[in-house]
Structure formats: structure tokens, C-alpha cells
Structure 1
């Protein structure tokens, strides 16, 4: 696994061994970021695993990334990758279950980019956590949330999230839904 583009292009990332971590493939990451464009100033990588999505955002111009991950082997991999890339001062790691991260994320927000490619082994629980967590108040006005999911599943956010689907794309068994803030409706008064 490697960084696809930007400042750290071609640099390898370490990953914890075993089936608990399913890194987003290079091909899928490349597709996500070609649709994202510039990642903005502040990004968050939920279910970070190896941190590949967050490190890709840093490589492509994000100033800072917050990684949210609870599993110790993945936390070790994120720290090693940050040290190897020389970006330890540009990251923050929140060691907590994503479902319990809302208060901490609100303190760090608003984010220009919210990235999540949750584990598929317990996708129902991950979907429930993301449905509670990902809301418009986490994003800047121009912010984007990209949520990965198995191709045969959907990851729909409730209407009260304040976010709407910009697009959904699929690659092999993987898919992602891109969300943006719901446009504010301007009202005009008639005289």
C-alpha cells in the first residue's frame, strides 16, 4: 500500500497484519481523491485503520488530519506511518470508537473533508454509528463527506443530517457515497 499522489507520492505505508484491517485499495483511494479534488485545510479519517485515507489527504494538501481509530495495532501503524512521513506534528489521533466520537469531533470541527471506509465485518454497526455521527455541523460550508461501503449495500444518512448525496460511485466490490451540505433555500417575500 502506498500514497498515490502529492507530496508523499509513492511512499509505502505499514499496515497491521490480520483480517481486522481492510485498507482502502490504491485504486479506490485514487478514484475517491480524483473526485474530491483538493482536500481543504482540515480532514478527519474515521475508522482510520492504517491511516491511508488521511495520509493521502495530507499528501494532497490538507494541513491537518484527525484520525479516529480504537484498535491498538491500527493505532501503532498510524503512528509509524506519521513518523515515516515526517508529519507527526500535522496529525492528531483520537483513540475511541467512532460511535463515541461526536463530542470530540465537534470540538475539532468544522472539517473540510470527512472520510470513512468502515470495516465490512460489522457493517451494520458501522452504518448505525455513521448515521448518528455524520452531520452538517461537522463540515465547513463547502465541506464534503465521503463514506465507503460494500457495493451491495448503501450508506444513507437520515434527512436530519443536513447532508445530501452529491454522487455514489462503485469500483469492484467497493462503493462510496459523497455527501455535501444541503443547500439553504432562499426565500423571497412578495409585496
Structure 2
């Protein structure tokens, strides 16, 4: 269960009401959620393969900068050149699918089809660092490319929280980034809850 304050923070970060929230999967050092776990199927029953969703607009913006730097092309090339890395990336995919299947079972939902993507292009492509970083933050040590991207990000939280909500879950008027910042940071490949 996600408490009202966390739901309000995620809503501020995304600029809209989140769908299918299961729990906060990771918290930013500032204390706010930065990764949430979502249900494998949305309330209307439609498949939703992105189990771990990065919500912090500052982290998302920094990751977007990494994506435009060519980092994903280099990572993709390394998959063909480094067998140990390819095996670790396959293991990350397997971990993600197992966790998504477990979430479906816990929620009494039909698991997603086996041929459905896990996230971020796994296990054979690198197409969304946002999703890979979300996985690594939620399950430290699980995703080699998520870890590399996370290490390259720096301290996105250093300027303080990306948004503010009071103890009751209402938006605080001192909001630092807000919905406008969040709306432009999502990766086009990443599903949105």
C-alpha cells in the first residue's frame, strides 16, 4: 500500500495521477519516492510491462542527458563483445520478469505473456536507461547497465527535493520542479503508469 503523501509526491513528479501503484520501490536520498513498483496490469486489465518506474524528474532529466550522449549505443555494442556482460544483462531480464510475475500472482492477476518485453530493451537491446536505472535502484546489484548509468548520473538530489507535499499529502506551494518539469523528462520508450 502506498500512503497518501507518497501518492501525492508521485503525482507531482509525473504531473498526473499515477496508475497501478503497488509500492514505493526506492526513495531518493531526499526522502521522496524516486522509483515506484507498478502492477503488471493496469486497472482496466491492459498489460503494463514496466514494473519499476522512475518518477523523479531530476533523475529522469539527468538520464535523458546520458541517453543523448550516445551511452546506449556503446552499451549495445558491448553486449556483442562482452559475453560476461551479456550474461549479466540476461540475468537482469530474468530477475525483472520473475519479479513482475510475482507481483501479478500477489495481485491475483494473469502474468504477462512470456514473449512480452521486460524493460529497457532487455535482454538483447539497450533502449531505455530510465527503466534500467529504475530496476537498479529498486533491486541494487541487479542490472549492470542500470548501475553504470546510475554511477554516471551524479547527485541529482543535491539541490533538494524535486517537489514538496505536506504531511497530509497536499501539494506544497514551495514546489521546486513540479509537473511541468516532469512532463518533459520521460523517455519515449518507457511505459507510463
Global fold match (TM > 0.5): no
Instruction: Name whichever structure is richer in strand by fraction.
Output: 1
Instruction: Name whichever structure is richer in helix by fraction.
Output: 2
Q: Which has the higher contact order (CA 8 A, sep 6+)?
A: 2
- When normalised by structure 2's length, the TM-score is 0.32
